[in-house]
Structure 1
């Protein structure tokens, strides 16, 4: 009798093991890890004026100046014309931060003798005119948020290009500082909840998008990991789980026969 009871309990133990194995196999990756850490603040970079200065570097310094020339007055208008407390706060923050960035930019321009503009360009002045003549505070809010969000989206990749390619440490430091400001401003603008994402320009199609391009890196990774090309990880896990279930069922039958 004792032996028979032990045989009857064995399948239950196997079922428990099966449940544990399935839970482990199907659990989402990263569920056992700690909470995501905060975004790190990049360390300061040295700026001693070393390295060749390119035409692109000079153009970047001018563009940073131009950004402040229209975003500072636009932020001031947001504080005056908007009736939305959140938009007012966004305008105040962006205008104040551009004052700081402009000061950094002017210092770099003086060091290299780069002539900076004192007025916004025609496009920027047109955006300011749109805000100035907005017939209602709600329409002003939409124009302010959308124009600034689109402008930050355009300058974002330009900053990345300069940060990655410049030979000059002063420009490298300015690009990193500008990058931090732009990311902050994009998040501030998006926190308004009224960004028209559908109106933003789409990213260009990747090279070779017209044909069935093969990602050689993915193929190599699949080969090295033993994965089957064209089969997703969840499918593989389900197949393995099915095999495990079949094995347990077979084992249970053997125990019952005994």
Structure 2
């Protein structure tokens, strides 16, 4: 039975250690959920406001300048990281633009076919720049633009009565969050130049603060309990394996003693 001890003993201990590491990872880094967009209907049902229309137009406008900007990044930048960021953002805006045009068609919204004056100015600025200067302009202009549209998308997502606009806002929100992260991965974003958030107009009530703290505590408690359960299973696996190992070892030694007599 020595082969059993030599092979299965370490395997049982390893399995327990893996479970314990999983428990620690779950407690430290909970999974971030992705909003299930397929649960939102797309029937153009609900009142359509001027703000809703403006969002659809802005999503279209974003693609009209960020796609050519991404193409310039691939051609003009000497930095492989910037080239990759430009390629990814341009490709993703191509997909987002399809979603915006489909929503506009369903809602009978007229869309522009050219960038606006500011966007064209940014493209001209990039066209005149080279090397590291181009990289800085490309990253900063796109990061600032995404920072402006991000809260606008959130407002429409939270308030629109129209399901098609709601779906587009949710999709756009995920694209924009990804693009900001990609741009920031360049490590050259000038965060000091970004506008600061306005001061809160009023402090939240004590009841709201208390409820928020309770929600955080409940979430942390669930995550901690899940980690403890996995840790307990790991301990049981290790303990059971060790006991079986010792028992089989003792049986093997007893058998050898009986064989000698």
Does 1:113 find its partner at 2:127? no
- Mapping 1:159-198, distance limit 5 Å: 159-198=153-192
CA distance in 2, matches of 1:215, 1:71: 41
How many equivalent residue pairs?
A: 188
Residue 37 of structure 1 aligns to a residue whose secondary structure is: coil
The two structures have a TM-score, normalised by structure 1, of 0.69
Which residue number corresponds to residue 34 of structure 1?
A: 27
CA distance in 2, matches of 1:55, 1:218: 32
CA deviation digits over 1:185-240, x for unaligned, max 9? 000000000000000011111115xxxx685337867xx9xxxxxxxxxxxxxxxx
Which residue number corresponds to residue 84 of structure 1?
A: 79
CA distance in 2, matches of 1:217, 1:32: 33
CA distance in 2, matches of 1:32, 1:163: 32
Larger relative CO (CA 8 A, sep 6+): 1 or 2?
2
Which residue number corresponds to residue 64 of structure 2?
A: 69
CA distance in 2, matches of 1:155, 1:182: 8
Aligned with 2:125 (options 130, 140, 160): 130
Aligned with 1:141 (options 129, 135, 139): 135
CA deviation digits over 1:159-183, x for unaligned, max 9? 0000000001100000000000000
CA RMSD, Structure 1 to Structure 2 (Å):
2.1
CA distance in 1, matches of 2:86, 2:198: 30
CA deviation digits over 1:16-63, x for unaligned, max 9? xxxxxxxxxxxxxxx896241332221122211111111111111100
Q: CA deviation at 1:65?
A: 0.4
More helix as a share of residues: 2
CA distance in 1, matches of 2:114, 2:97: 13
Change beyond 3 A, Cα 1:48–1:215? closer
CA distance in 2, matches of 1:220, 1:145: 40
Task: Structure 2: state its 5+ residue gaps.
Answer: 1-23, 215-261
CA deviation digits over 1:234-257, x for unaligned, max 9? xxxxxxxxxxxxxxxxxxxxxxxx
CA distance in 1, matches of 2:128, 2:74: 15
CA distance in 1, matches of 2:209, 2:29: 30
Task: Structure 1: state its 5+ residue gaps.
Answer: 1-30, 225-258
**Which 4+ residue blocks in structure 1 deviate beyond 4 angstroms?**
218-221
Which residue number corresponds to residue 207 of structure 2?
A: 217
